[in-house]
Amino acid sequence: MVYKRKAWHTVVAGVLTLSIVGSLAGCGGGEETAPIQSSGKLKVTFTSPLYDAQPYKLEGNPVFEEYETLTKSDISVNYVPNANYPDKLNLSLASGDLTEIVMVPASFIKSTAFVNAARGGTFWDISEEIQKYPNIMKNMSDVTIENTSVDGKLYGVPIPRPTARVGLLYRKDLFDSLGIKVPTNLEEFYDAAKEMKAKKPDIIPFSYCDQITETTWNGLDLFTVSQGGYNIWGIKDGKVEPYYQTPEYMNVINTFKKMYNEGLMNKDFAIVQGAEKKNAISTGKSAMFFTAYDDLVGIQKSIKDIDPNAEIGLQPVMNSKTDSTSGHNGLFVIPKSKVKTKEELDAILAYFDSALNKDINTLFQYGIEGTTYNIVDGSPKFVSDEADSKQQEDKKPLIMIRIAPIVTRWPNDTKTETIVKDAMEKYAPVAVPNLVDPYMSDTVIEKGGDLDKIIYDARVKYIMGEIDDAGYSEAITNWKNLGGNRIIEEYNAAYSKLHG
């Protein structure tokens, strides 16, 4: 069924999608359209999650229309509310009702449904074909490709993200004025916190947040890898194992335990959320915390509004290392049922490659020259605040139909933006990956959340002194008995299958 105007449609399981100028997969009885048209345009429909309450405007959107012109494409989008997206993917994979390009979120890549579909030949394997596209490959790290692959094969175009992104933000003005050394390792971090408390007792030395999924960002994994330890999972004597009882990890949580006892961190670390953690430093209440490099830009601006003399510094690594992120935010898969020939596959890959061109990046960032921005002293500049606001809205449809460069530099980058981008590029080679990110564990899918909570509860109670070494060891044994040992076995089997 082909729709030539905006219309809401209810599909299986009550999932609501919007089709714009295109055919809706799964309606039945529709006319088939080849991805490559006689005009030379690529005509495709994306299935993508919708993160806002209402679908993004495509018709009459000058940014979207210019994007289609520059990429020589005719694009339709089936938007699915993000909360329903995993259910929609599961149903679509089961029924075979798929569009030419489907966005698969990072959290879904290791799901049973996706892995089985990939292994069963539902999607094109682009492991070799993608190598022909220089713009794409320039933005793909080994970590990104490995973590989006299934059994060592790449079944879609990864959506790349920086691998080096986790570091320490600190009050540079206070460190400078009080003569405190910026830490470069765990021991110096403790010393800096202790010295900060002695010289500035009204400031929380370390703003810490510990949630189940927070260890990537809160300094725990960073300090563990800085001592030569694992980023959660690693390998010893040829066997895959987690870091929960390794010397490096225990050294970190013992240091945090000591800091907790000495009042060097916030007492509510087990319940504070990430936004509150950032708020502590952006409002001047804290001296140090770990987060994404790019948070430096917003936090620097926020604290300047409160204290014009305040300055936030970035320490990107400890012992010249940082913990790697997964390096991606999902991938775009290309179903063989909709894209039937290699010529059509190449046309889609060429589209993703062209979407990384400089003119597309400028369009995404600033809009259309002469309308939303002009070149002033060699740099793009919005013509007004209203034009800036309009551009932020008009560019939203592009977010889920293209991959973006890991780092894009502009002539008018601020000093802070340059610091962040420099760090992302410089420290990518020393970002230590999680060994098991490329692999699948059925037990993790089945009960990973419950098992993670056992680890989280034990760590929090240990740091707070509610359990001792024996209590912590007992919790890890419980984790192993309830499924942890199965996870270790499954990851070892997956690792051996790929590496022999």
Q: How far is CA 164 from CA 285, 326, 327, in A?
A: 27, 10, 8
User: How confident is residue 6, by pLDDT bands cut at 50, 70 and 90?
Assistant: very low
Do 298 and 207 reside in the same domain of the chain? yes
Do 25 and 135 reside in the same domain of the chain? yes
Tens digits of residue pLDDT in 445-494? 999 999 999 999 999 999 999 999 999 999 999 999 999 999 999 999 99
Query: CA 224 to CA 183: how far, in whole Å?
Result: 15
Q: How many domains does the chain have?
A: 2
Q: Is residue 9 over pLDDT 90?
A: no
Q: Answer whether residue 274 is part of any domain.
A: yes
Q: In the structure encoding, which two tokens stand for residue 332, read together?
A: 């775009």
Query: CA 134 to CA 500: how far, in whole Å?
Result: 31
Of 450, 460, 449, 451, which Cα lies nearest the Cα of 271?
A: 460
Do 51 and 189 reside in the same domain of the chain? no
Amino acid at 32: E
Do 183 and 308 reside in the same domain of the chain? yes
Q: Answer whether residue 294 is part of any domain.
A: yes
Provide the mean pLDDT of the chain. Answer: 91
pLDDT at 330: 97
Do 17 and 100 reside in the same domain of the chain? yes
User: How confident is residue 34, by pLDDT bands cut at 50, 70 and 90?
Assistant: low
Percentage, residues of the chain above pLDDT 70 = 92
Do 140 and 264 reside in the same domain of the chain? no
pLDDT at 36: 66
pLDDT at 423: 98
Last-in-domain residue among 399, 425, 460: 399
Tens digits of residue pLDDT in 104-144? 999 999 999 999 999 999 999 999 999 999 999 999 999 99
pLDDT at 211: 85
Amino acid at 326: S
Tens digits of residue pLDDT in 136-167? 999 999 999 999 999 999 999 999 999 999 99
Q: In the structure encoding, which two tokens stand for residue 47, read together?
A: 């299935």
CATH of the domain at 29: 3.40.190.10
User: How confident is residue 2, by pLDDT bands cut at 50, 70 and 90?
Assistant: very low
Q: In the structure encoding, which two tokens stand for residue 485, read together?
A: 């040992």
Do 319 and 467 reside in the same domain of the chain? yes
Of 54, 21, 58, 51, which Cα lies nearest the Cα of 395?
A: 58
Do 96 and 63 reside in the same domain of the chain? yes
Do 312 and 389 reside in the same domain of the chain? no
Higher pLDDT, 298 or 6: 298
Residue 111 is part of which domain span?
2-162+328-399
Do 183 and 276 reside in the same domain of the chain? yes
Query: CA 50 to CA 389: how far, in whole Å?
Result: 20
pLDDT at 217: 93
Q: Answer whether residue 350 is part of any domain.
A: yes
Those residues with Cβ within 8 angstroms of residue 134's Cβ, 6 or more apart along the chain or in another chain: 353
pLDDT at 415: 95
188-195 average pLDDT score: 98
pLDDT at 33: 54
Do 36 and 145 reside in the same domain of the chain? yes
pLDDT at 279: 87
Q: Answer whether residue 416 is part of any domain.
A: no
Q: Answer whether residue 486 is part of any domain.
A: yes
pLDDT at 277: 74
Q: Answer whether residue 413 is part of any domain.
A: no
pLDDT at 274: 64
The DSSP result for 185-252, as a single string, is SHHHHHHHHHHHHHH-TTSEEE-----TT-TTTSSHHHHHHHTT--BSEEEETTEEEESTTSHHHHHH
Last-in-domain residue among 378, 399, 420: 399
Q: Answer whether residue 265 is part of any domain.
A: yes
Do 175 and 317 reside in the same domain of the chain? yes
At what angle are helices 112-119 and 85-95 packed, to 10 degrees?
Answer: 30
Q: Is residue 205 over pLDDT 80?
A: yes
pLDDT at 37: 67
Of 363, 359, 335, which Cα lies nearest the Cα of 348?
A: 335
The DSSP result for 445-465, as a single string, is HHHHHHHHHHHHHHHHHHHTT
Q: How far is CA 27 from CA 56, 61, 123, in A?
A: 22, 27, 21
Tens digits of residue pLDDT in 56-92? 999 999 999 999 999 999 999 999 999 999 999 999 9
pLDDT at 13: 34
Query: CA 212 to CA 194: how far, in whole Å?
Result: 27
pLDDT at 240: 98
pLDDT at 276: 76
Q: Answer whether residue 404 is part of any domain.
A: no
| Cβ atoms of residues 318 and 189 within 8 Å | yes
At what angle are helices 469-479 and 442-463 packed, to 10 degrees?
Answer: 170
Q: Is residue 242 over pLDDT 80?
A: yes
Last-in-domain residue among 380, 399, 418: 399
First to last CA, the chain: 49
* CB half-sphere exposure, 471, CA atoms < 13 A: 12
pLDDT at 23: 33
Phi, psi of 168 (to 5 degrees): -100, 125
Compute the Cα dihedral for 183, 186, 187, 193 and give only its sign: positive
